[in-house]
Amino acid sequence: MGAALPFPTHDLNNGISDTNTLNVLLPMHVQLDGEGGITHVGPTFAKLFPENTDFIGQNLFQYIRVLYPRDIQEHSDLNTHFSQPLTAQLKVIDPIELKAVVVPVAGQTGVLINFAFGTSLKQAVSKWHLNSTDFSPADPSVEMLYVIEVQSALLEESKSLNRRLNGQWEEAEEKAYSDPLTGLSNRRALKRYMHRMRRRRNDTGFALFLIDLDHFKNVNDTLGHDAGDKVLQQVAEILLNETRPNDIVVRTGGDEFVLVIEDAHDMEVLSTIAARIISKVERPIFLDKKRCNVGASIGIIQSTTSINHSIDTILKQADDALYQSKRDGRGCYVFGRMSN
């Protein structure tokens, strides 16, 4: 067998003078003469700069900088890096990195540099509005771009679906733990709140207010249930204004409400809160110019998270105190005693 012929990895054929062929096969190329002056640029490379930019005779390094290898600072440095992968960057306001390779031109002293977008492909296509005609017919970049676009579309659709599902889940959870009329928490939310409070490492004192509206049945009977609903909503607003964000306000059903106030140890403070709630609820409410009056009776239980009573047990004790406030003439509050 004869000896294998060497492959001219650093030379181009004499067809280098056919710029039309180069424009089709290498639309991102730049030709330099022996002094480093630009003799020709491919049509796609020209699109990366302002229209009618006159490249001929200009120094390529006026338009780009080589990031790697770092020892390439001018055109003469290219001679020691033929056929090696280069990383370059456009000297523009929004620089984009390019990949490049340099080869000598057969029979001439100049070189030819071919650029490619690499991982900046999508950004470049968007920035310069490139299309398939701006790439070589054999360049896989177009197919890659299609794949990127499909992946982006699928990813965006997946994100959109997740947002919709999360929104539906949050809406469903909110409905499951809230009272639809007043927007307050419901009994289920109260149980979750108490469970989370008991899971804390430090013992937490709290007070539970069980509130029942006085004379509420009269409102429903004389003014109708729509008026009753408006009264409940106004009472809910009063209770929210008397609590802090870390407390919870619950409508357990009908005209009955529950407050749980954390870090509640001082009976005088709790008495002040209860008296203020009663005073505000007792103020006349005008609905369609009709006056209605309701009141509030309150049973109060103080406890701590270290005492492992169920919420139903605590509510039972609070209900006993509430019943006593009713017997005492309504419109008052009574502190109950939590049995161990």
Q: Give the start-to-end residue ranges of the domains of the chain.
A: 14-139, 187-335
Question: Chunked in runs of 10, what are the mean pLDDT values of the chain (340 residues)?
Answer: 38 54 92 92 93 92 92 89 92 82 84 91 86 85 70 77 71 76 93 88 91 93 89 94 92 94 90 95 85 92 88 93 94 84
Half-sphere exposure in the Cβ direction for 124 (13 Å, CA): 29
With 0-12 / 13-18 / 19 or more C-beta atoms within 10 angstroms meaning exposed / middle / buried, residue 129 is: exposed
Fold classified for 14-139:
Beta-Lactamase (3.30.450)
Give backbone dihedrals phi and psi of 214, rounded to 5 degrees, phi first: -90, 140
**Nearest of 290, 286, 277 to residue 325 by alpha carbon:** 277
What DSSP string describes 7-54? P-TT---GGGG-HHHHHHH-TTEEEE-TTSBEEEE-HHHHHTS-TT--
DSSP class of 77: G
Among 18, 94, 255, 320, the one annotated catalytic: 255
Give residues with Cβ within 8 angstroms of 247, minimum separation 6: 259, 260, 261, 262
Q: Can you list the pairs that 69-75 forms with residues at least 24 positions away whose Cβ atoms lie under 8 Å?
A: 74/36, 75/32, 75/35, 75/36, 75/111
pLDDT tens per residue, range 251-280: 998 999 999 999 888 899 999 999 999 999
Q: Report how far residue 31's alpha carbon sits from residue 102's, in angstroms, rounded to the nearest whole number.
A: 10
Domain 187-335 in the same topology as domain 14-139: no
CATH class for the domain made up of 187-335: alpha beta
Bridge partners for 64 per DSSP: 90
Query: For the segment 164-186, what is each residue's pLDDT rounded down to a tens digit?
Result: 767 666 666 667 889 999 999 99
The whole-number pLDDT of residue 340 equals 58
Q: Which of 7, 6, 8 lies closest to 107 in space, CA to CA?
A: 8
Q: Would residue 328 show up in a list of annotated catalytic residues for this protein?
A: no
